[in-house]
Amino acid sequence: MKIIHTVQELRAWRKTAGKVAFVPTMGNLHEGHLALVREAAKRADNIVVSIFVNRLQFGQGEDFDRYPRTLQQDADKLAGEGVAVIFAPDEKELYPHTEQRFNIEPPHLQNELCGKFRPGHFRGVATVVAKLFNIVCPDVACFGKKDYQQLAIIKGLVEDLNFPIEIVPVDTGRADDGLALSSRNQYLNEQERAEAPQLYQVLQSVATRLSDGNTDYVALEQNAAAELNARGWTVDYVEIRRAEDLAVARSGDKALVILAAARLGRTRLIDNLEVVL
């Protein structure tokens, strides 16, 4: 396994790499990331994992400076997974002009759900992913369903900008108690960690009501948010959307996804659950 830090070296390696599957990450890898790598391994001759904490997708007051940088530990985890290359550029390498002068502007979806509370976030995500796609030139790229809105935006990016890349969605990795795996889980204190699985439990409760025929989506959303708030969470949103494109769900839609974002203390957690009626 090689660790490559420059665009020039990565492009030189890519010329003879055959079919490549790509897993973009911000590092501090956990089992959910490794599940993406294992899915990638089924689909290509070589796997590239990028590790880059992307300043563009962090808003003012967010955790860019304290986001864990753990390259050596990440490399140790990837060494046994058949990864060919870790691409770990520094900020100057990926953004040589300090500020990115041209950015990818996603459609209106970027301002909904998480985007409503993190303005500019999905512009930063789309821009860095487009840059990485241009550098790595993968045939396949794997993204986790935990970041469901991100996945929808990346799918649209690939379609509209004609990237010849197959996007592979991978199911959310979860701890034994149901908590969606996330690098930010380590910010939780002991009491918050014990409470955190409640987010997924509330989503499961909404899913049960949908499956039982309840189509009052607004009431389901409001009741779920109220339940979390009563337990000490600060809820950004709980919303039921159409799974295909994250449009607002309407009666008669069969493939739905329930999405939520809420804070426990200083830690913002997101989760979602797909429902087929």
**Which amino acids are annotated catalytic?**
33
Is 28 known to sit in a ligand binding site?
Answer: yes
Q: What is the token pair recorded at 20?
A: 């490549």
Is 26 known to sit in a ligand binding site?
Answer: yes
Is 186 known to sit in a ligand binding site?
Answer: no
Residues 133, 161 contacting (CB under 8 angstroms): no
Helix (H, G, I), strand (E, B) or coil at 142: strand
Is 211 known to sit in a ligand binding site?
Answer: no
Is 108 known to sit in a ligand binding site?
Answer: no
Query: Within the chain, where are the H helices?
Result: 7-14, 31-41, 71-79, 91-94, 114-117, 121-136, 148-160, 190-195, 198-211, 217-230
Is 30 known to sit in a ligand binding site?
Answer: yes
Is 216 known to sit in a ligand binding site?
Answer: no
Query: How many residues comprise the chain?
Result: 277
Q: Which residues contact 134 (CB under 8 A, 6 or more apart)?
A: none
Is 18 known to sit in a ligand binding site?
Answer: no
Residues annotated as binding site for (R)-pantoate?
Answer: 57, 150
Residues annotated as binding site for beta-alanine?
Answer: 57
Residues annotated as binding site for ATP?
Answer: 26-33, 144-147, 173, 181-184
Residues annotated as binding site?
Answer: 26-33, 57, 144-147, 150, 173, 181-184
